[in-house]
Chain A
Amino acid sequence: MNSRSYKSRLRELVRRREFGIFIIIVIVMVLVGLRNPIFFTGDNWKDMLMYASILAFISIGQMMTIVTGGIDLSVGSVVALSGMSVGIIMRDNPALPPVVLILLGTVFGLGCGIINGLLIGKGKVHPLITTLATMSIYRGLVVVVSRSRWVVYGDITKGFKLIARGNILGINNLMFAALIIAVVSYYFLNHTRKGREIYAYGDHQEAAKFVGINSTRINILVYALSGMLAGFGGVLWVSRVHTAQANTALGYEMQTIASCVIGGVSIFGGVGSVFGVLLGTLLFGIILNSLELIGIVDFWKLSVQGFIILVAVIFDAVLSHRVAEQMRKQRRVFDAE
């Protein structure tokens, strides 16, 4: 009895969309760890998770836009704009407490996101085009507000450095933030009306309209959230690397999109989970931050990264296809009975 429920629970686990990516993560971990045991040290994991944390919550914002069938290409620029603005404000007012700076950065991001949302929701401009345009606009604004000067190590106050390095309840602040955001997003997406509406809207936009889901509001909501998370991430980013530059987070949108897709988010909308995105970013963290440890020439690392991603996605697709097949067979058996 007990073993049966254990078995069925295991089967349940295997059936989950995220299982494939989980397997890949374990395989990569074992392989890297075998080549270099340093991989399993706490220090390495801390570095890796600090990197993955920022990516994780910005990817969760990205996921919400992708679930609605859209995309947010402007996140990298928003990270840079928020980070640069906050850096400059800090340089001019070193006495400002870090909490105020975090709030400011988040509000900047929110503002950028709302502009995206209004253009997409009210203006009915395609998300791809809207955010492609705002990506350049926000990036341009970074150069403008910085007046082509970097925010450098000496400009960053002690308190601000501690944002990324301090701990809450023994957990690094970045990981703590990512964890809280993941839990809240999970609850929001799965257990609130608005959250379910996002999925419903992404699954079938026409049908959603008929059941009274307000598409404008959904769009404004998801892009505002995505922008807000990116703005928050920008502050943490600057705190982590001690500097803000014009090319900060250039190309970052691709990493967030890749994390989503690896984590099982359907690019066609309607499908995706917070848990999957977390696994996706974890895989990214491992392959981007631990390939140094396996001692291959740097030229090859990029190819190896791409290869791992490709294997992960193919493995995931094959597995989910097989699971779907099985479910269909079971249903047939059930119907026959």
Chain B
Amino acid sequence: MKKSIVLCVCVVLLFGASLLFAGTPPKGEATKAKGGGPFTLAWVPKGLGHPYFISCYEGAKEAAKEFGDKIFEVGPDDWSVEGQITVIESVIDQKVNAIGIAANDMDALAPVCKKAMEAGIPVVAWDAAVNQSARVTFVNQASFEGIGRGLASAMGEVTGYKGEIAVLSATPQAPNQRKWLSWVMEELKDPKYKDVKLVDVVYGDDMTEKSYDKALGLIKAYPNLKGIIGLSAVATPAACAAVTDKGLIGELKIVGFGIPSTMKDYVLEGTCQKFLLWNTMDLGYVAATIMHKCCTGEFTGKVGETIKLGRPTMGEPDGVYEVTVGEDGDPYVLLGPPMEFDKSNIEKWAAIF
């Protein structure tokens, strides 16, 4: 008797604790009224609890509020492809009106996204694409070529175009990182990088400790290493932590992707010379606006179609976007050029996101 009481109390306490913070679950009473609204939008990031995706969601919420739509965020807490498939299946069952997804894998998520499209739910990819066959469109934050070449030239600049460099990436199969890496390598073929040698590419799986240990490994394995390019918002600060610990600030330069608030102190201390990122809130805002317009039927994703936003963005001051053809031949919407952050502007942006 006593045992079962203790058990019950424990279970209730735990359950209560998780419910207390969980808020109200999204309701699935989506209205099928095309053209009308309000709509229910499912926002699916690569995973939960990452400041990058939080700031994207902020922008998406802003757009949803404008249209009076209901938007909710749901993603895998283990950042896996399988987790995302499960999540998409559940939002299809909830009969949402549109799905916005940052895909963990381009091909693996295609079947389930196709299933959503067949059920009449438009799928808008943002941040990381799913296959063209399984989406209405893709909001690309920046062209892969621009990012890849931008990172390589930033590295060249800070190292004076000579010395050994290495790349710390996320996972080997992450679509964005793969494309950026290939453009980094393409840029390095330019004769002005003839004294720059890319010695290794390692993968930290977007986990901080693993990335940190991989960076330590690079520093040990290549004593003459002059620079590390961090290809994800986890990899770059992890590389900075390793460089700080080894007392190599200024000697070993770091460029890459980062989120201003997490990178602020590394930039001010001189560990990271320069990093790139697009305006993440704009990315969420554009994607959610397109999701709404897909629901009303105003947007179909054809090349040449234009979308008018409710406010200007950093990439398009007039707030008008046009569907163009991407590097891989599929239509997409390009957010604009990436922003560069360094000592001069980091404090201003760190306060924002």
Using A241-B208, A241-B241, A292-B214 as known contacts, say yes or no to A247 and B202 having CB atoms under 8 A apart.
no
Using A47-B220, A293-B217, A293-B221 as known contacts, say yes or no to A119 and B79 having CB atoms under 8 A apart.
no
Interface centre among A144, A241, A289 (most CB of B within 10 A): A241
A141's contact among B17, B78, B245, by CB below 8 Å, is which?
Answer: B17
A34 interfacial by beta-carbon distance below 8 Å: no
Alpha-carbon distance A140/B17, docked complex (angstroms): 10
Cβ < 8 Å to B, chain A residues 145-185: 146, 148-150, 152-154, 165
Give the interface size class of chain A: 35 or more
Q: Determine whether the beta carbon of A134 is less than 8 Å from that of B54.
A: no
Q: Determine whether the beta carbon of A165 is less than 8 Å from that of B245.
A: yes
Alpha-carbon distance A243/B216, docked complex (angstroms): 16
Q: Which residue of B lies closest to A151 (CB)?
A: B262
Q: Determine whether the beta carbon of A141 is less than 8 Å from that of B77.
A: no
Q: CB-CB < 8 A to B50: which residues of A?
A: 148, 150, 245-246
A249's contact among B14, B206, B209, B214, by CB below 8 Å, is which?
Answer: B209
B47 interfacial by beta-carbon distance below 8 Å: yes
Q: CB-CB < 8 A to A36: which residues of B?
A: 221
Q: Which residue of A lies closest to B266 (CB)?
A: A153
Q: Determine whether the beta carbon of A247 is less than 8 Å from that of B49.
A: yes
Cβ < 8 Å to A, chain B residues 23-55: 47-51, 54
Q: CB-CB < 8 A to A123: which residues of B?
A: 3-4, 6-7, 10
| Closest Cβ–Cβ distance, residue A38 to chain B (whole Å) | 6
Q: Determine whether the beta carbon of B47 is less than 8 Å from that of A292.
A: no
Interface string of A237-248 (1 = CB under 8 A from B): 100111101111
Alpha-carbon distance A151/B6, docked complex (angstroms): 35
Cβ < 8 Å to B, chain A residues 272-309: 288-293, 295, 298-299
Interface string of A175-205 (1 = CB under 8 A from B): 0000000000000000000000000000000
Using A148-B48, A292-B221 as known contacts, say yes or no to A299 and B237 having CB atoms under 8 A apart.
no
Using A148-B48, A152-B262 as known contacts, say yes or no to A289 and B14 having CB atoms under 8 A apart.
no
Q: Determine whether the beta carbon of B216 is less than 8 Å from that of A143.
A: no
Q: Determine whether the beta carbon of B10 is less than 8 Å from that of A115.
A: yes
Q: CB-CB < 8 A to B342: which residues of A?
A: none
B240 interfacial by beta-carbon distance below 8 Å: yes
Alpha-carbon distance A65/B186, docked complex (angstroms): 52
Q: Determine whether the beta carbon of A148 is less than 8 Å from that of B49.
A: yes
Q: Which residue of B lies closest to A146 (CB)?
A: B49
Cβ < 8 Å to A, chain B residues 189-219: 200-203, 206-209, 212-214, 216-218
Q: CB-CB < 8 A to A150: which residues of B?
A: 50-51, 262
Q: Determine whether the beta carbon of B241 is less than 8 Å from that of A44.
A: no
| Closest Cβ–Cβ distance, residue A214 to chain B (whole Å) | 13
Q: Determine whether the beta carbon of B207 is less than 8 Å from that of A148.
A: no
A142 interfacial by beta-carbon distance below 8 Å: yes
Using A115-B14, A250-B207, A298-B203 as known contacts, say yes or no to A142 and B49 having CB atoms under 8 A apart.
yes
Interface centre among B7, B22, B220, B244 (most CB of A within 10 A): B220
Alpha-carbon distance A134/B13, docked complex (angstroms): 12
A119's contact among B10, B47, B77, by CB below 8 Å, is which?
Answer: B10
A232 interfacial by beta-carbon distance below 8 Å: no
Cβ < 8 Å to A, chain B residues 219-262: 220-221, 223, 234, 237-238, 240-241, 244-245, 261-262
Interface string of A111-145 (1 = CB under 8 A from B): 00001001100111100000000100101111110
Q: CB-CB < 8 A to A298: which residues of B?
A: 172, 200-203
Q: Determine whether the beta carbon of A119 is less than 8 Å from that of B49.
A: no
The 9 tightest CB contacts between A and B, nearest first, are A246-B49, A292-B217, A123-B7, A154-B265, A144-B21, A152-B262, A122-B6, A242-B241, A143-B49
Excluding A122-B2, A123-B3, 17 further A-B contacts by CB distance (< 8 Å) are A47-B220, A119-B7, A134-B14, A137-B14, A142-B49, A143-B48, A150-B50, A154-B264, A241-B209, A243-B241, A246-B49, A247-B79, A292-B214, A292-B220, A293-B217, A293-B220, A298-B202
Spell out B's residues near A (CB within 8 Å). Answer: 2-4, 6-7, 10-11, 14, 17-18, 21-22, 47-51, 54, 77-79, 172, 200-203, 206-209, 212-214, 216-218, 220-221, 223, 234, 237-238, 240-241, 244-245, 261-262, 264-266
Spell out A's residues near B (CB within 8 Å). Answer: 36, 38, 43-44, 47, 51, 115, 118-119, 122-125, 134, 137, 139-144, 146, 148-150, 152-154, 165, 237, 240-243, 245-250, 288-293, 295, 298-299
